[in-house]
Amino acid sequence: MAAGQPHRLPVSHLLLAGGGHSHALLLRQWAMRPSTRPAVEAITLVSAQPTSLYSGLIPACISGALAPKACVLDVWGLCRAAAVSFVQATVTGLDTANRQLSLKGDRPPLAYDWLSLNLGAEVRAPKRLGCLPIKPLEPVLAALAALPLGAAVRVVGSGPAAVEVSLALAARGFAVNLSGQPERAFWQGFRDSLNAAGVVLDPSLMRAHVELELHCTGSWGPSWLAQSGLAVDGRGRVLTGADLRSVNDSSVFASGDCGVIDGRERPPSGVWAVRAAPVLAANLQRAVSRRRLRRWRPQPHALQLLGDGRGRAWALWAGRQLGPSRRIWRWKQHLDQRFMAMLRPPQMASDQPMACSGCAAKLADAPLRGALQQLAGGQLPPAEDAAVAGDGWLQSVDGFPALVADPYLNGRLTALHASSDLWACGASLRHGQALVTLPRCSELLQQELLVQSLAGVQSVMPLIGGHTLQALEASDPSKPLAKQLSLGLVVNGQLSPGQLSWGKGPLRPGHVLLLSRPIGTGVLFAAAQAGSAEPQWLIAALEVMQQSQAPLVELLAAHGCSACTDVTGFGLLGHLNEMLDASMGVDVQLQADQVPALAGSLELLEAGITSTLAPSNAVALARWPELLGTRARLLIDPQTCGPLLAAVPEQQAGPCLAAMRLAGFSQAVRIGTVQSKGLL
């Protein structure tokens, strides 16, 4: 070993950066044939989005022939099926000397032993209002959806993408101006179709007023690659050998639009990404086991099928052109749909429901109450969210097995969930201590998992101490290592001088119950484990779950909050029942139909999917015999990072709700009224 070179343990971590077509095909192969996975302890895919858009269907989506949902590849779902950890983050840099990938925001870098880049490409466009590059595609689709039909749109570009996008926009009903420096031989074959579609050809780039300008002006590798130390070509794409390995860093592979074989320049196209995938899969497996790599010899030309958005298409090959033809259009649709079907995540087959993680992994109500009652000599102690630690200090403890396979995100969610006990008591979060149980794996990987987990916690609170443990059993190869973490937290909070802690009760007649945000996380993540949840449902749920509820403490106090709790593992009804148990002589007129549900949760409940804790939570329904069906199942669904349930005086309810919504809790709602018993 060279002097000063850090000692590295055997290969432990393969990092996949980007969710492009090559990586999607890798994940599918590993899900279907686990024996083809590289012999590493952990594999992580990091991508800015948990889904990617299949470029072959984008023109049909732009034209309105297909809904955007029909173009989505569920990269996150493929990761779950392949036992690969998924990290949603934007890559901002690469440190090849220390083998670390830098991420946007406060996240620590991700360490790797082997790295595969499949990042797609960037299209450069002027940075001015109303001007967008055609990639990434998501902002383009959002901008088009906001435009009225008939709006003027300029497309800048001279190649097939510019022609296809122009025709698709015209088919949708936009007034299209196509500008650029056309190659006469190429454009000549499309001129009649462009004219027939009403596309105005303007090679002079005259600046007539348009609502939106889209640039289809060629693609470049992500800008940070040029500063990474990797050899790149004139367009910033990683130069590789025929084995797809970087010419100057043997630990890095690149494929798709962000990489190119040295000496074999080619235009970017998804065709080459798809054709490269089998070679990439074989070489990642061979590289980590120190075997000879395969060589890829890509064809010099790729078949391109261009659609006009009206049911006709052209076939382009090596400068030759055929079409437009309806038969070619049908052929293109068949190939595109077959590709989408091939990359649909497989359903997880099991005779038994998978044990849920997050707060749904907590002990059921009956054994918990039984144990506490036995310890207390038969008298059940009152249930409160946090314990008074003296002198205005409150303390609580919480934690669970990892909900997601991203250790940073799991640390953040656990910290927010634990802190809600303090916020429900009216206290401000001060600091915490952590207990982390790590899977058995290499020390280097344990260090990485611990760094990421604790950084996630520290994004919410300062840590003043903690403890670590190792699992007794060997890690489970069918689960991502990060999913085998368990994290517990002791959280400490402080009341304002002279302030009294809110309890779960007593509830007072004339007060109303406010819920800070939607519920449904239990069924959503139960479905995710089985591969039955739509990715957009999980994305939306995690956005809600990551919103800190700390601002609600001062807001609720200002509007006379008298009792509060957080809705967690026992579901909304379980925790509402605890509030009633802490009160005397009152009942609640519950408006169950007003309780907001996270997107997808009602559909999943209607389909018969439930969290494994939900059946034991059903004991809470005995108090509410009028609640039946899907709505009842929602109200007993266990929650991770659930809402606050607060009681405020009737006259303060309207102003309080308005303030909550202004503070970012747009779905805060009134769900019930407290009345004297016997008045209901």
The CATH number of the domain where 459 resides is what? 3.30.1330.10
Please check whether residue 363 lies inside any domain of the structure: no
Looking at every residue in the chain, the average pLDDT score rounds to 90
Of the three residues 301, 336, 366, the one that is the final residue of a domain is 301
Instruction: Work out the average pLDDT over 617-630.
Output: 93
- Closest by Cα among 649, 680, 676, 679 to 585: 676
How are strands ordered across the β-sheet holding 563-566?
563-566, 644-649, 511-515, 669-676, 586-590
Please check whether residue 569 lies inside any domain of the structure: yes
405 in Cβ contact with 441 (< 8 Å) = no
- 290 phi/psi in degrees, rounded to 5: 60, 40
Q: Are residues 441 and 481 in the same domain?
A: yes
| 160 pLDDT higher than 80 | yes
Angstrom CA distances, 7 to 3, 102, 148, 649, stand at: 10, 22, 61, 64
Residue 506 is encoded by which pair of tokens? 């007593």
| 1 pLDDT higher than 50 | no
12 in Cβ contact with 445 (< 8 Å) = yes
Could you report the per-residue pLDDT of 471-514, keeping only the tens digit for each?
988 888 889 999 999 999 999 999 998 888 999 999 999 999 99
Q: Are residues 658 and 516 in the same domain?
A: yes
Please check whether residue 89 lies inside any domain of the structure: yes
Q: Are residues 559 and 672 in the same domain?
A: yes
329 in Cβ contact with 313 (< 8 Å) = yes
| 227 pLDDT higher than 70 | yes
Helix H segments across 459-568?
521-529, 535-545, 551-558
Instruction: Work out the average pLDDT over 128-150.
Output: 90
Please check whether residue 17 lies inside any domain of the structure: yes
Could you report the per-residue pLDDT of 426-443, keeping only the tens digit for each?
999 999 999 999 999 999
Q: What is the rounded CA–CA span in Å between residue 531 and residue 418? A: 27
Give Cα 563 to chain centroid, integer Å.
34
Instruction: Work out the average pLDDT over 363-392.
Output: 85
Q: Are residues 95 and 146 in the same domain?
A: no
Indicate if the alpha-carbon torsion angle 89, 529, 533, 37 is positive or negative: positive
Please check whether residue 4 lies inside any domain of the structure: no
Q: Are residues 76 and 105 in the same domain?
A: yes
Q: How many residues does the chain have?
A: 680
Instruction: Work out the average pLDDT over 246-261.
Output: 93
Q: Are residues 571 and 638 in the same domain?
A: yes
Please check whether residue 316 lies inside any domain of the structure: no
**Angle in degrees, CA 83, 87, 92, rounded to 5:** 140
- Strands 42-47 and 85-88, by their bridges, are parallel
Q: Are residues 260 and 408 in the same domain?
A: no
Q: By mean pLDDT, which of 14-28, 94-108, 266-280, 574-588 is the weakest? A: 266-280
Range with the largest mean pLDDT of 120-134, 286-300, 468-482, 554-568: 554-568
Of the three residues 185, 215, 245, the one that is the final residue of a domain is 215
- The domain in which residue 534 lies consists of 503-680
Cis-peptide, bond into residue 136, ω within 30° of zero: yes
pLDDT, position 3: 37
pLDDT, position 10: 54
Q: Are residues 498 and 508 in the same domain?
A: no
> In this structure, what DSSP letter does residue 392 have?
T
Please check whether residue 306 lies inside any domain of the structure: no
Task: Please indicate whether residue 267 or residue 598 has the higher confidence score (pLDDT).
Answer: 598
Please check whether residue 326 lies inside any domain of the structure: no
Q: Which CATH number does the domain housing residue 186 bear?
A: 3.50.50.60
Range with the largest mean pLDDT of 14-23, 169-178, 415-424: 415-424
Q: What is the rounded CA–CA span in Å between residue 513 and residue 173? A: 48
416 in Cβ contact with 548 (< 8 Å) = yes
Q: What is the rounded CA–CA span in Å between residue 80 and residue 92? A: 25
Task: Please indicate whether residue 207 or residue 676 has the higher confidence score (pLDDT).
Answer: 676
Could you report the per-residue pLDDT of 259-274, keeping only the tens digit for each?
889 877 765 566 677 8
Could you report the per-residue pLDDT of 453-463, keeping only the tens digit for each?
999 999 999 99
Other beta carbons less than 10 A from residue 596's beta carbon: 19
**% the chain with pLDDT above 90:** 64
481 in Cβ contact with 85 (< 8 Å) = yes
- 247 phi/psi in degrees, rounded to 5: -70, -20
Instruction: Work out the average pLDDT over 17-31.
Output: 93
Identify the band that residue 2 occupies on the pLDDT scale cut at 50, 70 and 90: very low
Of the three residues 487, 502, 517, the one that is the final residue of a domain is 502
pLDDT, position 435: 97
pLDDT, position 549: 98
Q: By mean pLDDT, which of 124-133, 520-529, 617-626 is the weakest? A: 124-133
What stretch of H or E contains 509? none
pLDDT, position 352: 56
- Closest by Cα among 99, 95, 111 to 46: 111
Tell me the pTM: 0.92
Instruction: Work out the average pLDDT over 144-160.
Output: 90
Instruction: Work out the average pLDDT over 280-288.
Output: 94
Identify the band that residue 4 occupies on the pLDDT scale cut at 50, 70 and 90: very low
Residue 488 is encoded by which pair of tokens? 């517990």
Q: Which residues pair with 437 in a beta bridge?
A: 469, 486
pLDDT, position 13: 95
Q: What is the rounded CA–CA span in Å between residue 277 and residue 438? A: 33
pLDDT, position 580: 95
Counts of helices then strands in the chain (DSSP H, E) = 20, 30
Domain count, the chain: 4
pLDDT, position 6: 39
pLDDT, position 182: 59
Q: Are residues 46 and 56 in the same domain?
A: yes
Q: Are residues 520 and 487 in the same domain?
A: no
What stretch of H or E contains 342? helix 326-342
- Closest by Cα among 61, 54, 20, 53 to 307: 61
Identify the band that residue 60 occupies on the pLDDT scale cut at 50, 70 and 90: confident
Task: Please indicate whether residue 361 or residue 13 has the higher confidence score (pLDDT).
Answer: 13
**629: number of CA atoms within 13 Å, CB side?**
7
Q: Which CATH number does the domain housing residue 621 bear?
A: 3.90.650.10
pLDDT, position 269: 60
For 205: left if phi > 0, alpha if psi spans -120 to 50, otherwise beta; the answer is left
Instruction: Work out the average pLDDT over 518-535.
Output: 93
Instruction: Work out the average pLDDT over 274-286.
Output: 92
**% the chain with pLDDT above 70:** 94
Q: Are residues 168 and 239 in the same domain?
A: no
Identify the band that residue 593 occupies on the pLDDT scale cut at 50, 70 and 90: very high
Instruction: Work out the average pLDDT over 31-55.
Output: 92
Instruction: Work out the average pLDDT over 402-410.
Output: 96
Instruction: Work out the average pLDDT over 335-355.
Output: 76
Q: What is the rounded CA–CA span in Å between residue 249 and residue 253? A: 9
Tokens 């605890």 label which residue?
578
| 293 pLDDT higher than 90 | yes
Q: Are residues 510 and 599 in the same domain?
A: yes
Residue 141 is encoded by which pair of tokens? 């689709």
